[in-house]
Amino acid sequence: MADKSMTKSQILDHLSKKTGATKKFAGQFLEELVTLAHKEAKKSFVIPGLGKLVVVNRKKRMGRNPATGETMVIPAKKVLKFRLAKAAKDAVLGKK
């Protein structure tokens, strides 16, 4: 079974200990970063060393209804994607 991910409280506690800031300030900073990312995502939002939040236009395509097996057209739409930075991939997975 996989390890559980950190909770928001654990993240704020870690950030406050590492930076010497209060937990409240770390929470405000994190909330502001998330709000800014939401606002700027349409133009793409980059967090250096972590990745980029971008809006991508997905083309229409053929799909299959899993319940009936009937083929259908899935319409074109915009989707939000997060592209990991190479530095993040190397840090987590190691260099090849």
> Hey, what domains does the chain have and what are their CATH numbers?
1-41 (no CATH), 44-96 (4.10.520.10)
**Residue 2 confidence (pLDDT) above 70:** no
Q: What whole-number distance in Å separates Cα of residue 14 and Cα of residue 8?
A: 10
1 confidence band (pLDDT: 50, 70, 90): very low
Span 4-23, mean pLDDT?
93
Selection from 67, 63, 90, 91 nearest residue 77 by Cα: 63
Q: What whole-number distance in Å separates Cα of residue 46 and Cα of residue 54?
A: 9
pTM: 0.75
